[in-house]
């Protein structure tokens, strides 16, 4: 499975190209509006204009349909009630502190389905898991008195930090637990042929 870096990098490229085509339509329209009325000849007829507009709409819808399953967490989120997690991690947040399970770091296996259940007793917080380069793996909002769940499969190994991703007052800036999660190395299983 692709990492969030790969998926979002590819989507960024696709949407940038798409946005440039939309900007070209806006630019052409602005040019036509400001053009002196004496020069009315153009190769862009209403038929060409509306065909281009229809192509942009179809392309945009097509991009969304083709890419919604490329983002790994979309499929998990839609089917999470049918997926049995391999591990459940309970985390509490109170007084601007993450209260982790007794064992720190939380040790997970690569490609293991993990359900994080994060609860808050007082404020709305954010729960974000970050790589060492401070790029985000995932995040969710933590609402008080509610089981805030997210299902995740780590496809990369290493140590990860937990940080709050929501404003919860001035103390919220310091809500960080370094090396809170360790994902064991990802090994590919290789089947060996038996010799006769």
Q: What is the pLDDT of residues 153-194, one digit of tens each?
A: 898 899 999 999 999 888 888 999 999 999 999 876 555 556
Using CA atoms, how far residue 110 sits from 3, 55, 73, 113, 181, in Å, is: 12, 42, 16, 9, 12
Q: Which of 1-5, 38-42, 104-108, 129-133 has the lowest mean pLDDT?
A: 1-5
C-alpha 92/C-alpha 1 separation (Å) is 30
What's the topology of domain 82-183? Immunoglobulin-like (2.60.40)
Query: Has residue 196 got a pLDDT over 60?
Result: no
pLDDT tens digits, one per residue of 3-55: 666 767 778 888 899 999 999 888 888 887 787 776 666 667 778 888 988 99
**Ordered strands of the 113-120 beta sheet:** 97-99, 87-94, 113-120, 148-153
pLDDT for position 2: 60
pLDDT over 70 for what percent of the chain? 85
Q: What average pLDDT does the chain have?
A: 85
Contacts of 172 (CB under 8 A, 6+ apart): 96, 125, 164, 166
Of residues 94, 90, 87, the one with CA closest to residue 110: 87
The whole-angstrom separation of Cα 12 and Cα 6 is: 10
Average of pLDDT values for 71-96? 84
Where residue 189 falls (left for φ over 0; alpha for ψ -120 to 50; beta otherwise) is beta
Residue 103 to residues 1, 84, 108, 180, Cα–Cα distance (Å): 28, 23, 12, 10
- CA separation for the pair 47, 51 (Å, rounded): 6
Answer for the pair 63, 11: CB distance below 8 angstroms, yes or no: no
Is it true that the peptide bond before 105 is cis, omega within 30 degrees of 0?
yes
Domain chopping of the chain, boundaries: 4-70, 82-183
> Percentage of residues in the chain with pLDDT exceeding 90?
44
Residues in the chain, overall count: 196
């Amino acid at each position: 499975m692709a990492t969030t870096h790969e998926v979002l990098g590819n989507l960024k490229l696709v949407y940038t190209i798409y946005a440039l085509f939309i900007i070209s339509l806006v630019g052409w329209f602005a040019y036509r509006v400001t053009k002196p009325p004496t020069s009315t000849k153009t190769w862009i007829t209403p038929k060409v204009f509306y065909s281009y507009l229809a192509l942009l709409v179809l392309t945009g819808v097509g991009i969304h349909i083709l890419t919604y399953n490329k983002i790994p967490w979309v499929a998990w989120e839609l089917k999470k009630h049918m997926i049995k997690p391999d591990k459940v991690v309970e985390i509490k947040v109170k007084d601007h502190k993450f209260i982790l399970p007794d064992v720190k770091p939380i040790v997970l296996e690569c490609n293991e389905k993990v359900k994080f259940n994060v609860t808050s007793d007082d404020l709305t917080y954010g729960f974000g898991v970050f790589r060492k380069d401070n790029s985000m793996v995932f995040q969710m909002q933590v609402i008080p008195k509610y089981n805030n769940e997210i299902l995740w499969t780590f496809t990369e190994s290493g140590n990860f930090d937990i940080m709050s991703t929501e404003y919860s007052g001035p103390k919220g800036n310091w809500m960080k637990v370094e090396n809170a999660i360790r994902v064991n190395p990802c090994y590919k299983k290789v089947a060996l042929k038996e010799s006769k």
